Amino acid sequence: MKILVINQHSNNFGDDAAGVAMSQQIRKKFPEASIEYIYHSFKEVSPIPFHDSKTKHHTDLLLFKKDIPDALKYLCSRAFGFNPLKKGTLNKNVKLIKEADAVIVSPCGANIGIYQDWIFLLRVLIAVLEGKKPIFHLNTIGKSKNVLFNFIAKYVLKRSKLYVRENKSKLELNSWGLKPEHGVDTAFSLKEDPELINVQFSDSEDKSYIAFIPTRFDNWHVHYRNNSIDTKLMDTIIPEIVKVAKTNNLGIKIIPHLTGSLDESDFLKTYKDEFIKQGLDKNEISVVKEVKTLFDYEQVIKHAKFAVSMRYHGVIFAIKKMVPFLSLSYENKMSEACTYSGMLDYEIKISEANSDDVARKLDGLLKNDSVIRESLASRLNVLKKLSSLPIQGLYLESLFKDKK
């Protein structure tokens, strides 16, 4: 069996975690299958850390604006029944899709939705036009603000098997007459790989620090671009975290989230410098440079007293490792994760953040530590099962095909 994963994101520990978790699920259910990956298009990508003799990563098949003429030729060829593409990157994408027995759309955010990602949509459209039924592996899916994009998306989604990780996605797709299955984030099923863990913790260090996962919004996010939300957050949350850290003798570990061509070292240093400026001893704060893999990222959260996350997968890992957390939420996906984990009392929407709210919720994390950990632990088995729905469905389908 040939399984092709399209639009795999990279250089992001959250997307790596979801991609590896999905790959582990596939390999468990289909031990003899070949798995190939076509990556989503950045300037450069690094393969996710999942490797075996039957797995291949195509990091050289990225599509960019220069490939638009070939995309138009391909679409015309499908309409008029001829194939003008004999070479080129797009043709290689098409060839791999044609050869696949199953095409899976890698777990990721709202590329079909508020991000309005035409390259992402093009690959899924190609799969549909080549007679495949793409399996969306617990994605965020929704409407964009572009009528043409939504029209093509609806055409594609009607011909796909849809699994979504948000109830909001399910309701939006229901309004289009579609009936997706509802699960949770794929990363809940991730199994640790000890060979890829670089960070180590002593007993004295365990739970003696706050795990802090920042991000910036002003330079990329469609809802917050160029509105100075980053400055507001820095002014609001840092002083309160410093107070809690000093009062409770806690250090702070800043966790990188992006890697490779998306490296954000300079940005993380800005946060470190601000913590020191606000009164934290420079020896009590660090950017954890030992975080080289998604498994390192997970370990730093696992050993923390609590986490403060502006990143969605920072929240997912905290739930998975039963660590109390404060979610500074920028999208619905974070709100829903807080809801199904029983942590909605510890969410603050970034557009509504204020110092008093941050202080009150941080105090609650400390006072209710054991209760929160027990509550999170009680939910994990269900969340793990819900994170595996697409591959379970594919496996069941394969059993019936074998009988035929």
Per-residue pLDDT tens digits for 74-95: 888 887 776 666 778 999 999 9
What rounded mean pLDDT belongs to the chain?
Answer: 93
Q: What percent of the chain has pLDDT over 70?
A: 96
Mean local confidence (pLDDT), 102-116: 96
- The pLDDT tens digits for 309-355 are 999 999 999 999 999 999 999 999 999 999 999 999 999 999 899 99
Using the predicted structure, report yes or no on whether residue 154 has a pLDDT greater than 80.
yes
- The pLDDT tens digits for 375-396 are 999 999 999 999 999 999 999 9
Using the predicted structure, report yes or no on whether residue 287 has a pLDDT greater than 90.
yes
Dihedral sign from CA coordinates of 60, 64, 67, 71: positive
Predicted structure pTM score = 0.94
Residue type (1 letter), 203 = D
Query: Does an H or E element contain 2, and which?
Result: strand 2-8
Using the predicted structure, report yes or no on whether residue 101 has a pLDDT greater than 60.
yes
Q: Which one is predicted more confidently, 344 or 400?
A: 344
Using the predicted structure, report yes or no on whether residue 105 has a pLDDT greater than 70.
yes
**Number of Cβ within a 10 Å radius of residue 147:** 8
DSSP β-ladder status, 181-182 and 2-8 = unpaired
The band of 174, judged by pLDDT with boundaries at 50, 70 and 90, is: very high
pLDDT of residue 79: 76
Torsion (CA) 301, 285, 350, 328 in degrees, nearest 10: 10
The band of 403, judged by pLDDT with boundaries at 50, 70 and 90, is: low
Question: Where do runs of H (alpha helix) occur along 250-388?
Answer: 265-277, 294-302, 312-320, 332-340, 355-367, 369-377, 380-386
- Contact between 22 and 9 under an 8 Å Cβ cutoff? The reply is no
- The pLDDT tens digits for 133-152 are 999 999 999 999 999 999 99
- The pLDDT tens digits for 230-265 are 888 899 999 999 999 999 999 999 999 999 888 899
- The pLDDT tens digits for 349-360 are 998 999 999 999
Using the predicted structure, report yes or no on whether residue 205 has a pLDDT greater than 80.
no
Distances (CA, A) of 186 to 108, 120, 179: 9, 19, 19
Pairwise CA distance, residues 239 & 10, whole Å: 33
